[in-house]
Amino acid sequence: MSFLGPDQPELLALRASRTLGWHAAAIPTAILLLMDFGLPNDSPKQEATSTVPAGGGRVTFTIDKDDPHNPTGHRFTGERFDKALNVTLNSVIFRPSGQDLTTAGTYIEMTSRLLEPTLLALAVLAIRGRIKR
């Protein structure tokens, strides 16, 4: 059952444009949130220390990484923009970014990975529905 009459086809086209508009707004929002809260100050570095036995025995290294810390100081730099853009664009296609993120950044990325493909799918469905008419 449709509430639109045959003389109102432009309303159907607006649904796809609204969805694409929300998607276009979601990407810069995710980038800004990641730049502000999601990217750590520095990427955690891996360090390994050990003592080699005099007899030439076997040595095992265990490498732990510290949790990423929230940034202080300059948050809106070109390097941070590049990292945030990489994380956001990877989230559109459900690929992990491989970037170390803070706890807030992890939640921002998860939300982006759910929201952005959903908005794209809704836009495709709206366009498909418009073409099928």
Nearest to 14 by CA among 133, 123, 120: 123
In whole angstroms, give the CA distance from residue 109 to residue 103.
Answer: 10
Q: What is the pLDDT of residues 6-18, one digit of tens each?
A: 554 444 445 788 8
Whole-model pTM? 0.63
Task: Name the architecture of domain 13-40+70-132.
Answer: Orthogonal Bundle (1.10)
In whole angstroms, give the CA distance from residue 60 to residue 51.
Answer: 10
Q: What is the pLDDT of residues 17-53, one digit of tens each?
A: 888 898 889 989 988 998 888 888 766 566 666 666 6
